Amino acid sequence: MTKAGKEELSGGQSRGIGGPVEWAMADTFSAKLANIVLPEAGGKQVRLGSLWETGPAALVFLRHYG
Amino acid sequence: MREHEAQFKQAGANLAAVGLGDMNYARLFREETGIAFPLMVDEDRAAYQAAELKSENLLHLLRRDNAAARARAKAAGHRQHRLGQNPFQLGASFVFGPGNRDLFVHISRTFGDNADPQALLSVLRCEASQ
């Protein structure tokens, strides 16, 4: 991600407005989240990055369960 | 999002959700809503913090755009389930691709500010066509 790209990502379309972006650097959201392991409701441990390792993934952060 | 689960599968994408709360809460939510996609529990807010998602305060409930969002949700037949661990936590929607590419990012500014599922699907279809 270029410096300009990061600024755009931080203050532009990604903040609340939303929209297509494409970045592939170490400080992308996907890179920051990739190594986090969370338990799935069924009990299985899931490394988040495994969801988009071989294909795209939509990941939704719920405001709360509801 | 659960209404669009089949469309995400058709678009060749994994669909998953992250929520606060504990395992029992997540299981109950899953049973109540009937979702089939993975629902992960982030009790320590590790993923929420990594994604830089913020919490808001009670005053946001009074915002005009929140009232409009509540009316839209009600008209669409959505109902409020139990409040979670932190009812002021804001959410987000992402589409990520292999190689840690961010294809779509929407970070909520207030409670009713949710991404349009069609926007996510559009990005996925575009990715699949390349």
Report yes or no for ipTM above 0.85: no
- Chain B closest CA to A3's CA: distance in Å? 16
> Distance between CA atoms of A39 and B81, rounded to whole angstroms?
21
Q: Domains of chain B: which residue ranges?
A: 2-128
User: In sequence order, which residues have a C-beta less than 8 Å from that of residue B29 and are 6 or more positions away?
Assistant: A41, A65, A66, B19, B21, B39, B81, B82
Per-residue pLDDT of A15-37, as tens digits, reads 444 666 665 556 899 999 999 99
Per-residue pLDDT of B31-75, as tens digits, reads 888 888 999 999 899 999 999 998 877 666 666 666 666 666 666
CATH topology of domain B2-128: Glutaredoxin (3.40.30)
CB A53 within 8 A of CB B90: no
CB contacts < 8 A (A, B)? 216
Q: Domains of chain A: which residue ranges?
A: 3-52
